[in-house]
Structure 1
Amino acid sequence: MAGAPNVLFIVFDDTGFGQFGCYGSPIETPNLDVLAAGGLLYSNMHTTALCSPSRSCIITGRNHHANGMAAITELATGYPGYNGQIPFENGFLSEMLLQHGYNTYMVGKWHLMPSEQESAAGPYDRWPLGRGFERFYGFLGGDTSQWYPDLVYDNHQVEPPATPQEGYHLTEDLVERAMSFIADAKQVAPDKPFFLNLCPGATHAPHHVPKEWANRYRGRFDDGWDAYRKQTFARQKQLGVVPADARLSPRDPDVPTWESLSPEARRLAARMMEVYAGFLSHTDHHIGRLVDFLKETGEFDNTLIMVVSDNGASAEGGATGTTNEVQFFNNAPETLEESITQIDELGGPTTFNHYPWGWTWAGNTPFRRWKRETYRGGVSDPFLVHWPAGIKARGEIRDQFAHIIDMVPTVLDVLGIEAPTTIRGVTQSPLHGVSFAHTFDDAAAASRHRTQYYEMLGHRAIDHDGWRAVCPWPGPSFAEAERPFGTPITMADLDDLDAHHWELYHVDEDIAETRNLAQEHRGKLIEMIALWYVEAGKYNVMPIDGSVLQRIMTERPQITENRTSYTFRSGT
C-alpha cells in the first residue's frame, strides 16, 4: 500500500465534553487545540458511557454488548453480552491492518479482557499481542498509579524505568515508548505504515501530576463549578461548538451550589480541580512531544489522527471528592477534616485522588449528568480528526451524529480496505458502525448513522434521526432516585420504567436535554422505546442488568484453585 497513511488513535479516559480548551474549557490544551485548528472538531460524537465498553467499540467497530462488554470486565457475568470476552469473530483494527502490511502498536491502558486472565499464567490470547498488536507497553487493568504503575511490556510484567524522585511519570514514559516503537521500524522500513493505539491513563483517577503543573492553575478555580460551567458554555457558543441558541442544562440535584460550601470545602475542591487541570495540561504537553516527533520524522502530514475520550467526566470521587478513590468504591468516604490534612499531597505518590461531583458536572458542560449514565453528559465526548494529506478542511466543526463504532469503518474507508471476512481462520461478524469519511470535506453532508442504542448498568437511551429517548436508572439523579445506584432491575421495575419513566428530547433543537417532550409526543416516545428493544435484540443487550455490587461479588472462573500459600521465585 504505497503512500498509505499511518493511523493514530489517542484515547483519553474520563475526559468530558467541556474539558479540552478547543471545546471551551479554561484548561490549557494547546497541542490538542492545534490539532483542532488544523483539522476537524466533531461536536456530536458518542460513546457508551464507560471505559472497557467504549474501548471495545473503538477497536472493533461493533457495539459493546456484541463484544461481551456490557460493562467493565470486572463486572462480567455469564450472559453473552456481559461475559467480558470479546469474541474472536469481532476482529480488532490491529488484526485488520496487520493483514495489509501495517506495524501495530498498543501503548497505555488495555482493560479489554477478564481480570483473571491478567496474570503471568495467561492465557495470553486476549492480551494485546494476541489481538493483532505487534508491540505493547502499558497496563492491563482499568487504572494505575501514574507514579508507580503496574507495567507490562509485550507479554511480561516490568518495573518502571525510574522513580518519581528521579522524575518518572507514566504519561511521559508511554509517549517515549510509542516513539521508540515507531522509530525502531521506520529506520528499517521507512515506507511501512503504522497503527498506534495510544491510551494514556489520563484523565482517569488517580489525578497524578508533578506539583508545578497543578500550581499553574493556582486560584484559577476559586470561583467554583457554577462559574466554570457558565463561562465554558459562553465560550462554546463563541467557538461554535454548540449552537448559538442552545440552552444550558439545569442545575444537577446532586451538586450543591459553590456558595453553600464552607470555606475549607471550597479550598479543597478548588485544589482538586487545579490538580486535575494540571494533569490534563501535562498530558497535552506529552502528546505535543509525539506530534513533534512525527513532524521531525516526516510522518505527520500523512498520519490520520483521531482523538477521543471513552466517556464523560467521572463522578467516582463522590460528592466531596477523595484523596483515595477506593473509599468511594467501598462507600466509606473520608471526612473533610481528613481530606484537608492531605491537600498539599494531592496529585503526588501518596494519594489516589479524584475531584467531587461538582467538577464532574462542570466538565461535561453543557450536558447533564456523567460517566456510567446515558444522558449526554455520559455519552457525548470530544472528538478531533487531523490528517493534512487527506483532509482539505482546516479548523472546521462537524455536527453530524457519530458514534465510536464508526471509527474503524472510517479508517477502512479512507484506506480503501474492505472489512475482512476471516481473521486467522475465524469468520468475521459484520461491522456495526458506518464511515463518516464523507463528512471530512463536506460540512453539510448528512450523517449515515441514524440509530444508536445505549445501555449502561440499567441506564438506557436511544438516538434516532435527531430525537433522543432516555430511561434513567435508578433515577434522573441520585437525589431523585427512590433506590441507590446499582440496584438490580426486576421485571416489575422494567414494566414500570417502560410505562412511566422514559424521557424524550428533540436533540436536533435541544442538545442538552433540557425539555422533556414525553407527554407532548407520546407516539414518538412509544416508537423510540420499541426501537430500543429492536436494537437490544440485535446486540445481546438482554437481560437488562442494573446491579453493580452483585456483579462484583459474582464468583468467576479462576486460573487455579483457591490457595493459602504462594512461593515466590527470584526474578519473577
Structure 2
Amino acid sequence: MALKEYSAGQAFNGVIGRTFDVSEPSWPAPLRAKEGMPNVLFIILDDTGFGHLGCYGSPIHTPNIDALAADGLRYANMHTTALCSPSRSCFITGRNHHSNGMSCITEGSTGFPGGNGIIPFENGFISEILLEQGYNTYAIGKWHLTPTEQTSAAGPYNRWPLGRGFERYYGFLGGDTHQYYPELVRDNTQTEPEKTPEEGYHLTPDLVAQAKAMIADAKQVAPQKPFYMYFCTGAQHAPHHVPKEWADKYKGKFDGGWDAYREETFARQKKMGLVTKDAELSRHDPDVQDWGKLPENERRLYARMMEVFAGFLEHTDHYIGELIAFLKEIGEYDNTLIMLVSDNGSSAEGGPSGSVNENKFFNNVPDDLEQNLAAIDDIGGPKYFNHFPWGWTHAGNTPFRRWKRETYRGGVSDPFIVSWPKGIKAKGEIRTQFCHAIDLVPTALDCCGVEPPAAIRGVTQAPIEGFSLKNTFDDAKAEGLHKTQYFEMFGHRSLYHDGWRAVCPWPGISFVESGRSFGDPLDHDMLTKLDAEGWELYNLAKDPAETSNLADKERARLIEMIGMWYAEAGKYNVLPIDSRGTLRLGEPRPQIAVGRTKYIYYPGTQVVPGNAAPRVLNVAHSVSVHVTMPKDGAEGAVFTMGGNDGGFVLYVKGGKLIYGYNYVADQRFKVVSDSDVPAGDHVLSFEFTPTGKPDLAKGKGTPATVKLLVDGKQVGQGDMPVTIPIQLGLGAGVCVGSDNGSPVMLADEYKPPFAFTGTIHKALVDVTGEPLEDKDELIQAYLKSAMARQ
C-alpha cells in the first residue's frame, strides 16, 4: 500500500481516531522536483577571450568544449560586463551588475548602492530558486561574490555560497588563487589540498573530482532528483599554471607572434560563420608591441608565455571533458542543460611585457624584462604567479579591439555555448542574437518551466532584468528579445541598442594615444567633455569589430543613444562613475569588528583574509609571538602574511630568528638575528619603522628599518629600500604557526607549510607605532600582559 502524503500548506488528510487501529496515517510530502526537469550546469571560464577556444577559431586545442558546441549551439553575440565579480553576479542572479552592487570586483567596492559589493537578497540567486523546486545545488571553484571583509571565520556567512542557496561548496572565495597552493574552502570552513605540487596536485582536476563526487553522492540515493551546479574554474585567470608537459605541446606554435595569431584566427572565424564575410579585423592596437621589431629573446619569452597559457587552456578542456564524460556515464548528459561562458575578455593585467607576478599590476609596480627572461624555464610552475603580455591579450579577443576592464567588444564579447540534447534539436549551429550575462538565469528557468518567485525566504524579489534565449534554440532567425544593454567599467562606457553600439572609452582608445593610464581619475568636468566629444558609434551588422566610427555621420542617433545610456544608468544604480582602478583596493570599508590598534591571533585557527586583517602597509607596526622553544631547538614559521606574490614572514631557522620580506616577487629581503633563540618561554618580535614616504603611483611603499627582538631586546636590524605599496599577496592573510599555501620566501629557504616545531601560545600585531624596546627590561612581562588583555 502506497504511503499517503499531503503537500505543504494543505491540511492533514489522514484519519486520526482514538487508537492507531482506527486511524490512517499521512505524511508531509517531501519536496520533489517535477518529473523530467533538466539538470542545469553553468561552466564559467575565467579571462577567456572570444578568440581563445578552438570552436571560436583559435589554434588552441579544446576538443571537449568543441564537442559540446557541436552537440549544441555557439552564440556569436554574447556579452559580459568586462570584469569577473560583476559578470558572475549577472550569471547567477539575472540582474545587472550595478543592480547587484557589483560595479567592480568585491575588493574594489565603494560606499554607493551600485558598487558596495553587497548583492541584495531581493536579487535571488538561481541556486535559491531551484533549491525550492527540489534541486540539489552545488557550487564549485571560484566564488568572488562575497564582500571581502566578510570572508573571515567571523562571517557573517549569509553571503557565502551556503548562505545563497547552495547546499555544498568547494573552491576559493577570492578572485584568483595559486593553482598549486590554492586557498580552499569546503562549505564554510577553510581546508587544505590533499596533495602537494610535488605529488601532482593542481586545482582544476581537484575541482572536477569534487564536482563528480557531489553529483554521484546524491544520484546514487535519488537518481531522479535534478541538480544545479555552478562550476567555475580558476583557469584561465592568472596565475597561468599548468604542468610543463601540457605547455610543451605548443612549443614553436606561437613563434609567428600575436598579429599572425589574430589574422589566422580571424580567417577561421569567417569560415566558421562567427563573423560576416565582409567584416574587418580591428587594428593592431597601439599599446601592443610590434612583434617583428622585438629582439629575439623577447619573442622567445612571449612565445613561451603563450605556450603556457595554451597548455593551461587545453588542460582545462581535458578536465571539463572528464566532467562531461561522467554525466554521460551515469546517463544524465542528455537531460542536462549546459551553459559554458567566460566572465570577460582576455586579461591585460600582465602589462606590455608580461609578468612573473600578477600582484605587481595591483601595486602599480612595473615589470622587469630581465627578471621575466630569467624565469622562462619555470613559467607555469608553482614558483611564479605569471601572466602573458598585452599582445596575447589582444590576440585572444580576436576579432575585437581592446580587452578586460574596457567596454569595447574585446572586453565584453565572450564565447557562449549551450548544449541540451533532450531540449535542443539543432546541432552545431551558430546563433547571432544579442545576449548578455543577465540572460543565463531567465533562460535556465524557462527551460526548467519555473517562474521567478515573488519572494525567497520571505524577501520580496526584484524583477529579473535579463531575457530568455530559449526561443532561439531551434530557430536561428528568432527575434532576439534583448534590445538594449548598457555597459560601464572604471568609467569606460557603452550602450548596445538594436544592432548599434555607442562607446565612450576611458582613459582613451589606447594608452599611447590618450596619454593616460588605467586608473586615471575621471572628474566631473572631464565627463562633461567626454559626453560632448568622446562618444563613438558603430553599426554592428556591418562592422562587428568596431573599426569604423560613424559618430559624425549618425549624430542624431548617437545623441539619442547617449541619452539612453543615462536613462539606463539611472535605472540600474550606475552612478557615480569611478575610474580609480587599483586605488579602489585601498578604500576604507566597514569591518565586522570595531576598529582597534592591537590584534591577538592564535595557532591552529583559520587564516584571517587580508581584508579582515590589520592594515600594516606603509605604517609603523610590530608583531610579537609568544613561543616555547624546546631544549633541542625548533624551526618553522611563527607568523605569516602573504605568499609567493608578496608578503612577509617571521620564522626560526638554524637557531636564528629571521624576518623575510617579499616585495611582489621582485626583490626579497632578510633580516637575521645576531644570536640563536634560546630554549624556554620567549616573545619573538619584529618592529617595522618607516623611514620615508610611499609613492603609490610608482608602485613603491615606504622604505623601512626592521628590528628583530627577543623578549624586547634587539638581536638584529636591517633596512629595506622599498616595500609593497597597496596590497600584499592576492591571498594574503594572517597565518600563525606556519606558512600555508604558496611560500613567502623561495624554496631554497624553506618549503611550505614550514610549520613551527616548538609551541606557539598567541601572537600580537600592534599598529600603534609604539616601540617595543624597554630599557627597564620588563618588556617580556609587558608583552605577555598586553596579549592577555586582548
Q: TM-score, normalised by structure 2?
A: 0.72
Structure 2 residue corresponding to 1:500, chosen from 516, 533, 550: 533
The 5-angstrom pairing of residues 513-532 of structure 1 reads: 513-532=546-565
Kept after mapping to 2: 8 A contact 1:322/1:333 = no
Task: Find out whether 1:281 has 2:314 as its counterpart.
Answer: yes
| Cross-structure match for 1:6 | 39
Task: Find out whether 1:484 has 2:517 as its counterpart.
Answer: yes
How far residue 341 of structure 1 moved from its aligned partner, in angstroms, is: 1.0
Structure 1 residue corresponding to 2:149, chosen from 106, 116, 121: 116
Kept after mapping to 1: 8 A contact 2:354/2:367 = no
Kept after mapping to 1: 8 A contact 2:351/2:367 = no
Counterpart CA distance in 1 for 2:351 and 2:517 is 14
Counterpart CA distance in 2 for 1:134 and 1:209 is 30
Q: Deviations over 1:162-207 (max 9, x none)?
A: 1111111000000000000000000010000000000000000000
Structure 2 residue corresponding to 1:211, chosen from 223, 226, 244: 244
Counterpart CA distance in 1 for 2:400 and 2:601 is 52
| Cross-structure match for 1:569 | 603
The 5-angstrom pairing of residues 263-342 of structure 1 reads: 263-342=296-375
- CA 1:210–1:549 in 2, change beyond 3 Å: closer, same or farther? closer
Runs of 4+ in 1 over 3 A off after TM superposition: 562-565
SS at match of 1:144: coil
Task: Find out whether 1:456 has 2:489 as its counterpart.
Answer: yes
How far residue 543 of structure 1 moved from its aligned partner, in angstroms, is: 1.1
Counterpart CA distance in 2 for 1:100 and 1:287 is 27
How far residue 548 of structure 1 moved from its aligned partner, in angstroms, is: 2.0
| Cross-structure match for 1:25 | 58
How far residue 223 of structure 1 moved from its aligned partner, in angstroms, is: 0.5
Rg: which structure is higher? 2
Counterpart CA distance in 2 for 1:167 and 1:550 is 37
How far residue 404 of structure 1 moved from its aligned partner, in angstroms, is: 1.1
Q: Deviations over 1:306-339 (max 9, x none)?
A: 0000000000000000011112222222322111
- Amino acid aligned to 2:142: K
Kept after mapping to 1: 8 A contact 2:248/2:311 = yes
SS at match of 1:455: strand
The 5-angstrom pairing of residues 67-82 of structure 1 reads: 67-82=100-115
Structure 2 residue corresponding to 1:137, chosen from 170, 182, 185: 170
- Amino acid aligned to 1:344: D
The 5-angstrom pairing of residues 126-525 of structure 1 reads: 126-525=159-558
How far residue 571 of structure 1 moved from its aligned partner, in angstroms, is: 5.7
Counterpart CA distance in 2 for 1:371 and 1:177 is 30
- Amino acid aligned to 2:601: T
Please report the RMSD computed on the Cα atoms of aligned residues, expressed in angstroms.
0.9
- Amino acid aligned to 1:102: Y
Counterpart CA distance in 1 for 2:112 and 2:390 is 32
How far residue 558 of structure 1 moved from its aligned partner, in angstroms, is: 1.4
- CA 1:483–1:282 in 2, change beyond 3 Å: closer, same or farther? same
Counterpart CA distance in 2 for 1:332 and 1:567 is 31
How far residue 504 of structure 1 moved from its aligned partner, in angstroms, is: 0.3
Counterpart CA distance in 1 for 2:161 and 2:423 is 29
How far residue 563 of structure 1 moved from its aligned partner, in angstroms, is: 4.3
Structure 2 residue corresponding to 1:37, chosen from 58, 70, 73: 70
- Amino acid aligned to 2:541: D
Q: Deviations over 1:376-423 (max 9, x none)?
A: 000000000000000000000001100010110011111111100000
Task: Find out whether 1:98 has 2:120 as its counterpart.
Answer: no
Query: Which structure has more helix as a fraction of its residues?
Result: 1
How far residue 565 of structure 1 moved from its aligned partner, in angstroms, is: 4.1
How far residue 434 of structure 1 moved from its aligned partner, in angstroms, is: 0.6
How far residue 549 of structure 1 moved from its aligned partner, in angstroms, is: 3.9
Q: Deviations over 1:206-245 (max 9, x none)?
A: 0000000000001100000010000000011111111111
Kept after mapping to 1: 8 A contact 2:102/2:117 = yes
| Cross-structure match for 2:685 | none
| Cross-structure match for 1:49 | 82
SS at match of 1:469: strand
SS at match of 2:40: strand
Q: Greater CA deviation, 237-246 or 424-433?
A: 237-246
- Amino acid aligned to 1:567: Y
Kept after mapping to 1: 8 A contact 2:407/2:488 = yes
% identity of equivalent residues = 66
| Cross-structure match for 2:785 | none
Q: Deviations over 1:74-115 (max 9, x none)?
A: 111110001000000000000000010000000000000111
Query: Which structure has more strand as a fraction of its residues?
Result: 2
Kept after mapping to 1: 8 A contact 2:47/2:347 = yes
Q: Deviations over 1:278-302 (max 9, x none)?
A: 0000000000000110011000000
SS at match of 1:81: coil
Q: TM-score, normalised by structure 1?
A: 0.99
How many corresponding residue pairs?
572
How far residue 545 of structure 1 moved from its aligned partner, in angstroms, is: 1.3
Counterpart CA distance in 2 for 1:102 and 1:419 is 15
Kept after mapping to 1: 8 A contact 2:353/2:367 = no
